[in-house]
Every structure is written in C-alpha cells, then in structure tokens.
Amino acid sequence: MQHFKTRIVQSALFLSLIVWSFSCKTKTGSSGINDKGAFDISLIDTVLTGIVTAELTDPPMVPKPLEYSSPKTVMVELEAVEKVMRIADSTDYLFWTFGGTVPGKFIRVRQGDLVDFTLKNMPDSKVSHSIDLHAVTGPGGGAEATATAPGQSTRFQFRALHPGLFVYHCATGPVGLHIANGMYGLILVEPQGGMSKVDKEYYVMQGDFYTDGKFEGKGLQNFNEQAAIDENPNYVLFNGKVRSITGKNALPANVGETVRLYVGNGGPNLVSSFHTIGEIFDKVYVEGGSAVNNHIQTTLIPAGGAAMVEMKLEVPGVLNLVDHSYYRANSKGAVGQIKVSGKENPSIYNKIRK
Amino acid sequence: MKYLLTILATAFLGVIYAQPKGVLSEKKMVPIPAGIYDPFFIKTSPVPIKVAAFKLDESAVTNLEYLEFVKANPQWRRSKVNRLFADSNYLRHWESDVSIGINNKDIYNSPVVHVSWFAAQAYAKWKNKRLPTVQEWERAGIAPPKDSKIKSVVDYIAKWYSIPSPKVLPNIKSTYENTYGLHDMHGLIWEWTFNFNSFIGTGDSRGNTEDEIKAFCAGGSINVKDKSDYAGYLRFSYRVSLKGNFCIANLGFRCAKDN
Amino acid sequence: MKSFLYTLFICSILISCGSNEKKSAFEGEVMNEHPTAPVGTIPDQSIYMLTDSFQTQNNEKIILKQFAGKPTVIGMIFTHCDYACPRLTADIKNINKVLNAEEGKVNYVLISFDTERDTPDVLKKYADNLRLGNDYTLLHGSEEAVRTLSILLNVQFQKDAEGNFSHSNIISVLDKEGLLVSQKEGLEANHDLSIASLKGMLK
C-alpha cells in the first residue's frame, strides 16, 4: 500500500491545546469531581511511556485486555473498505466498512493513552470516508481531520480522556448512508487499572439495514433511501449478517464462566432493547460509562451508543440475544446466541419431566 | 531556472510532437444554455447563482486522448511529473510513460483516471479549453436522462453506489445520455472541477469558525437544500476530501469552454 | 547567464515554429520578465513552482518565486470581508509583532480571493488603512492563479452571487525556498508553532 499518500494533519497541537484549556477549566471549576465525573486531569501531564500498535479484532472477538499501567502512544490504523458481503445466506449487499467487517474492527486503548490514528481509504472505494470516534475530545471526533479520498490516507492524534465503551462511525455526508451501509464499530477506553477480569469477552453490534428487496430476498441488493428515511428497515442485525452469531457461529462459553459482551448500536435509526433470553445481566455498565447497574433484564442501547453487560453462566444451554422490540428478532434478523456448555445444575434450573 | 527550462524544452518538444495530428477526432462539445444554479448547500446569500452559457465536452477525456497530451508535454509523463502537481498514483494504470499498454486495450476509450487537478488543468489549457466550475458541472449534470426508462438521476446514481467498482473501467458513453446530450455525467467516474475546493466546511465538522457553522453543521444536513439528494451529498463530500495533486482510480475530467 | 542564453535559444526555436497551429499551452509561460527573480534551483515541492504572475498593491508585476530567500507568511483574504479577513490580517500582524524581527527579514503576503474588486489600488488602500508596513505584499491575480494557489495552500473558497466569498482561514508559513513549513487554521488561533519555525529560519 505504498501508494497511499499520508496527509499529516495539524490537529495534534490543536487537540492538545483544547485538552490543555479544558483541563484548566476543570482545575478552577470543580476539584471534587474525579472518580465518576470528569476525567482525571493529571492524566494529561503524564509522560507517555513508549509506542505500541493496537491489536485490532474482527467481530465477535475482542482484543486481549491491556497489560500496561502507564499511558502510551497507541498506533491505530483502520481501512475504509467498500465490499460486497453476505447480509443473509443468499443475499449480497455492498457494505461500507472499517476494516472489511460489519461492525468494524474493535479498538482497545487505555485511559490516558495518546491515540495516533490513521485512516486509509482503499483505492477501489467509490466514495470518500472519514471517522468520528465518540471517544475523541476534539472537532468532529476526528471527522474534521479525516476526510479521506479513495486511495488516500489521513492522520490525527487524540488523548483518550474518558474511560468507557464508545461507538465510532463514518462521518462523511450523508452520514446516515455511510452508517446504514455498515460503517461503525466500537472503541473501548479501559479505565486506569483496566477492566475487571472475566472469562470471555465478545463484541456484538446492532445495526439496521435498508434494501430494495424484502428480508432475505435473493441477489445483490440496493440501498433503499426511502425506507431509511421512514426508519423502516428490512434487516435489524447483530454483526451485519442474518445468523452471524447463531448456530455453529454461536458465541461459545462454559458453565461457571463470566461473559462480558461489548454491545454497541450503530443504528442509523433504531434504538435497541438488548436482552438475553434465559439470563439476567449481573452487571450493566450503563451506556458504556462507569455507572454499574445490577440485575438487569433488558438494557436500552441508543443508536450511536453502547453498553457492557456481564453475566455469570450458571446452567448449560443456548442463550438467545435479541432486540426485545420483538418483530426485529422475529422477522428482521436481530438474534444472536451464546452456547453454554457444561453440567446441568437442577438446583438453579430444573425442567420437570412428567 | 531549471523549471523554466523544462517548460521551454517541453514547449519545444510539444511543437514537434503535435505535428502528426488528426489521429483522434476532436471531442464534440455540447452547448449548455445560461441558467440558474441552485446550490446544494444553502448559503447565507439568498441570491440565486447565475451560470452563463458555456460548452462542455460531451464525454470525459479518454486514455487515448490524454496520451496525445502526454506525448506532447513530456513534463506530464509519469516519470517526469512533479509530485507537487500529481501524486505517486499518477497514471499508474498505464504500462509506461507514453504507452497505455497493449493489454489495456479495453480502456483506451475509457475515461482517463489517476490524473490530478493540475494535470486536468494543463490538459484543458493545451486544448484551449478549461475545467468546468462546480456550478457549471452541477447545472449540466442535473439534466434528466434522455431515456425515459431511467426514472431519475438520483436513482441511477444510487444503483452505481450499490454495486462494486468494475475491475475494468467501462468506456465513455456506456451509461446514459442526458437531455443536453452529455454522456456519463453520473455512474462512471467522478470528475474534477475548476473550483473543487469551494468552501463548504469539512464533511462532518461541527464547525470551528462562524463561517463554518453557517455553512455546515449537525452532520452536514441542516443547510442542505434537498435532503433526499444523497448523491449530491456524496459528490460534495468527495470534493471536500480532495487535494489538487491527488490521482484517484475513479476520478477523471472533461473540459469546458466559454461560449 | 548561460541558462539565459539557452532560454533565448529555445525561444528563437519556438518562434520559428510559431506557424504550427497547435501551440503548447506552456508557450505562454515564456514570460520571465523578472530579471530580479533569484536565480537558483527551487525544490520541486516548493509553492514557488507556481509560475503565474500577480500584481502587488504598488502595481508591480511579480511571481511568487521572488519571495524566495526569506521566510514567508501567507494568508488569503478579500478586502470587502467584514468578519474573518480583518481578523486573519490581525493574526498575521500579531505574528509579525511577536516575532519582532527586523524589517526586511520576513515576507508577509496577503492574496485576494476577489479578482474583480481587489485591484492593486484597492489593496493599497487596505494596506494603508491597516498600517501594513514594508514587509507586506498584497497580491491581485487572475482567477486561475488565485485558485491554483488556494489549492496548493489547501485553502477552500467560494464566491457567492453577491460577489463575496466563503473561505477557510489558514495562515501558512513557507521557508526560504517556498516549501510549506506549517499551517494553522482558524481565527485567533495559536500560532506558536508557526512563530517557532519562523524564529528557527531567522537564526
């Protein structure tokens, strides 16, 4: 890919300036908010200790937890790829993606890291792309610095100030179309000290799709703009394809394990009533932030929002993940599965056979 | 001084090369009557923009046509071109400096792509023409297809977006002809315009300056006149992401001329 | 001198071939009537590769290459602008002030978007009103020259039906050879980096 001509964007200094002025305000304004409220201002003065390249993963996988304890410069490179893929078993769609998958590659950094971000747009792309990462403090969430023509690349840096799970998406006009075509993903900013340890982590992201043909209509399908305006999708999907994480592709786990799902919602239109049939979320990091709610049946995930949900698996079986706005699960594809293996535990669940 | 000499030498060679002419027939130009350009982005000014009558090439400049230019103007050869004026992708689909390649016969009459704005400008000048402005191009491009079977330009473009880029770029006049008699205004390639760097703010900037806020905010939709014209959006977003020396696989040009 | 002779030689060939109907577009650029222009090689990536000529506020014809030899601060404006351009000009004046260099060490160049109304005389008045000193050059150019320069400097601009311009506000710093050293977008932006690079070049 030596043909990409890197465009060095001047935003680094600008960003640090914003960061600096913001920190001043925080200092004078309110010293009390620290652990839950504003980010820890001392972060910005922390010296960065080395450069690492971020591990990026395709859904449903999540990069390994980070092991470093002091902020680093993290190199991230994503490619905007326009690509025909299956949206259903016999239906194709020209997706616009970050990294060739829907959702795009999962990015994992740590609070305080300086993220050095490069966006490449593949030479055979038809249109320009950009990226707005909701984890960015700065103009357009990076979109301002990353308007990228086919075959070109752009670059900017941002400081990951706030911990949490954030959506990123293409922000090139018309934004709705880019999102409707699949251009979104998640970036996790681990809090200092990292996330608590769990046994399994998976990446699930919902999106709504609008095609000319009906649900699972055969062949290559066109985008249907009127359906998008009417917010009337023919597909509501986890990870960009009907049955992407069901059956043989179900997310594997074992009895006794704690599973954490990083759940995002790209939209562009619908809000998700995310629910797991047959489990209760022990913990929900509400809206992907620091607040933890316990014992949750269904959590609302807004378009352009995310949440982390955790459940300890007590009994074997198949757990269906659904958008509990039920016809989406029924008729539009919004179903995923966790396949739990292990020993039955009749004291928790016992089916009485007559 | 070196540069000046190059120009001079070029001009000299250009004269020599231009001798065996008439290999390709002159491209037909189509008259576009004077009219009003309805800006895609509503500006602060309520006054409609008048576009004077002009002429526009009926189709995009082809590889063969561009080859003549390159032969006549050695500083626009792939190995000679200044990177300030054309990036490293310049004419990368050609076999060599002055050959499209015998294996590339299929694209002889396809639009030349991987050409920069500066290259397109130089070609137009060489032809005693110029690049159309955004206003001219958009005004010419909005005309409906002659073929009434194609319902609307927007639908046609939507189809183009919904299929992958072809492996081999089709020839000119392979899409539709519009009522002015222009071919392939949409659905084949993007085209350079003289003032592609017209100010509309960045693609999705929430704006830093007041000017920018006026021009573009909230994901770039508040000030858009026709919110259903998403093809228009894509064109403007595309132009915003360009720099003058970019050479891109789906970006070519056609020339204009004053009446 | 040798190259000048060479130029003459080429010119004479050109003239002798002048009857050919297809003239090279570059013939028009055999125009170097600027004996004062510094002779020497300009790097390929230099903005001074732009060979179009401009007119200064003092009605002198100039090509950008004549700015070579000193670092140059460039902004693009139009004088009828009542909002952004006075502020951008003030920003440039402020760079000048903070830099505190001797007169004659740095070029400050303002190029007008408004090829119709901003004649050299109008630019002269603008310069006088804002008390722009001897280091300031205000340029009027052809539509094509101004557009080409804007593209090289990544400045976006657009004329509206009333003849005014929407435009990005960018201050660029070029080194002595015309290479783009730093750029800063925005009004009343922080130009520390630009100033630092200018200081470095003046050492």
A335-354 tens-digit pLDDT? 999 999 999 999 999 989 88
Low-confidence residues of chain B: pLDDT under 50: 14-22, 44, 202-222
Is the minimum CB–CB distance between A147 and chain B shorter than 8 Å?
A: yes
Query: Where residue A326 falls among pLDDT bands split at 50, 70, 90?
Result: very high
Concatenating the DSSP letter of every residue in chain B gives -HHHHHHHHHHHHHHHHTSS--SSPPPPEEEE--EEE--SB--S--SPEEE--EEEESSPPBHHHHHHHHHH-GGGSTTT--TTTS-TTTTTTSSBTTB--GGGGGGTTSBP-S--HHHHHHHHHHTT-BPPPHHHHHHHHTSPBSSTTS--HHHHHHHHHHSPPPSSPPPTTSS-BBTTS-B-SSSS-EE--TTTT-----TT---SSHHHHHH--TTTTTTBS-TT-HHHHHHHHHHHT--TT---TTEE---EEE-
Residue range A19-31: mean pLDDT, rounded: 36
Two tokens, residue A278: 């047959």
Is the minimum CB–CB distance between C34 and chain B shorter than 8 Å?
A: no
| Total count of residues recorded for chain B | 259
pLDDT at C84: 87
Residue range A170-193: mean pLDDT, rounded: 94
ipTM surpassing 0.85: no
Is the minimum CB–CB distance between C190 and chain A shorter than 8 Å?
A: yes
Spatial distance between the Cα atoms of C175 and C167, rounded to a whole number of angstroms: 24
Report which of residues A300 and A20 the model is more confident about.
A300
pLDDT at B39: 66
List beta partners, residue C130.
none
Top-confidence range, A11-15, A63-67, C186-190: A63-67
Q: What is the pTM of this model?
A: 0.83
Q: Which residues of A touch B233 (CB under 8 A)?
A: 173-174, 177
B200 vs C158: CB contact, 8 Å cut-off? Answer: yes
Spatial distance between the Cα atoms of B252 and B248, rounded to a whole number of angstroms: 8
| C19: Cα separation from own chain's centroid | 35
Q: Which chains touch C (3 or more CB pairs under 8 A)?
A: A, B
* Identity of the residue in B89, B230, B237 whose CB atom sits nearest the CB atom of A3: B89
CB C67 within 8 A of CB C102: no
Mean pLDDT (chain A) is 89
pLDDT at B203: 36
pLDDT at B210: 42
pLDDT in tens, A114-149: 999 999 999 999 999 999 999 999 888 999 899 999
pLDDT at C13: 43
Is the minimum CB–CB distance between C168 and chain A shorter than 8 Å?
A: no
* Identity of the residue in A123, A132, A222 whose CB atom sits nearest the CB atom of B162: A222
pLDDT at C92: 95
* Dihedral class, residue B228 (left if φ above 0, else alpha if ψ from -120 to 50, else beta): alpha
pLDDT in tens, C68-77: 999 999 999 9
pLDDT over 70 at A311, yes or no: yes
C147 vs B44: CB contact, 8 Å cut-off? Answer: no
Share of chain C above pLDDT 70, in %: 80
pLDDT at C1: 46
Residue range A196-208: mean pLDDT, rounded: 98
Q: Which residues of A touch B230 (CB under 8 A)?
A: 174, 176-177, 225
Question: If you measure CA to CA, which chain B residue comes closest to C87?
Answer: B209
pLDDT over 70 at C50, yes or no: yes
Query: Where residue C28 falls among pLDDT bands split at 50, 70, 90?
Result: very low
Query: Where residue C139 falls among pLDDT bands split at 50, 70, 90?
Result: very high
pLDDT over 60 at A27, yes or no: no
Residue range A179-189: mean pLDDT, rounded: 98
Minimal C-alpha gap between B151 and chain C (Å): 32
C184 vs A10: CB contact, 8 Å cut-off? Answer: yes
pLDDT in tens, A247-297: 999 999 999 999 999 999 999 999 999 999 999 999 999 999 999 999 999
